[in-house]
Amino acid sequence: MQAWRTVQFVMTGMKHFTKSGYEKHAKEWAKAPDDVMQRSLRGRTAVVTGANQGIGFQASVDLARRGCKLIMVCRNQGRGEEARKKVQEASGNDDVHLHLCDVSSLDSIQRFVDELEAQSAPVSILVNNAGVMINEPRPSADGFETNFATNTLGTFALTRRMLPALRRGAPARVITVTSGGMLTEPLEVEDLEGKRMSKFDGTKQYARNKRQQSALCERMAEVYGRDEAAPVRFYTMHPGWTGTEGVKNAMPDFDKSMGDKFRTLEQGADTITWLALADEDKLEQGGFYLDRKPWPKHLTLARTSYSSADVDRLWTQLETMAGLVGTPAA
């Protein structure tokens, strides 16, 4: 079954996830032009995690160009400050700010959220972009496997902790940058840290994490997305196969094989901006997007579907790990 998924994934990816796939999809938009990407975000606040490089950096530039107050969330002061200045220069927007947070650390997440709460800051757009693919098991500051700690647990905890700020900034949107790699994996709820793998596989663990992100987005849309008094909407998106330093470092063979087939950063980040700007009634709550349109969450006959009980189990475990049991949602 894994081999079947892989074959389908590669075929789908070469057709749709590459630069040529983006260009093909963009031609479809040209047939029905609209003003979505020309809209303003003035008066709104956006938070982007993993904002100092790659897709997170490009999304920061694109959002800042539309006039919002931008909070760039980065792990490193020096690299973050350098990126902040570059975003200001590229966007012509001086209202760009740096906050430090390591999304793999629950204490770091809490400190960042406390900073926002101390200012009673409203947030209208949260882009969960921070992510890692590490090819050997490595513990986080909290003792969890680092891929899982960052991609799944940390992203879940940050989103939950930020719900009060998102309610203040409503109507708000949470856009999580996931990956088409999730199409190769079912929802893992038993072995969250990859301890039962015969040999730890960072690529497999990353794909599992991305499937978990998608399932959690669906559940958050159900649980938190129905409050019409202070609406928060939830979406995931796949940036396609985009040339980044992260891909180069984590998947050097794939990086070399792709060459000029990779998307540009602008192409990879495009749908993030589109999801921040598009009319809410034209978007699918909890939907998974590629190139400005909903994309199937499962490959044909891949046996990657899951039950509500599976998501319940994942949710409950994450709440316990993150210290969120019994805490108010917003």
pLDDT tens across 125-180, in order? Answer: 999 999 999 999 999 999 999 999 999 999 999 999 999 999 999 999 999 999 99
Q: Is the pLDDT of residue 114 over 80?
A: yes
Q: What is the pLDDT of residue 231?
A: 92
Residue 209 token pair: 């994490």
State the catalytic residues: 206
What element of type H or E holds 47?
strand 45-49
Q: Is the pLDDT of residue 46 over 80?
A: yes
Q: What is the rounded average pLDDT of the residues 249-253?
A: 84
Q: Which CATH architecture has domain 2-30+42-322?
A: 3-Layer(aba) Sandwich (3.40)
Closest CA to 98 of 72, 126, 128: 72
For residue 103, the Cα-to-chain-centroid distance in whole angstroms is: 12
Q: Is the pLDDT of residue 232 over 80?
A: yes
User: How far, CA to CA in Å, does 112 sit from each of 17, 74, 107, 118, 261?
Assistant: 34, 11, 9, 10, 37
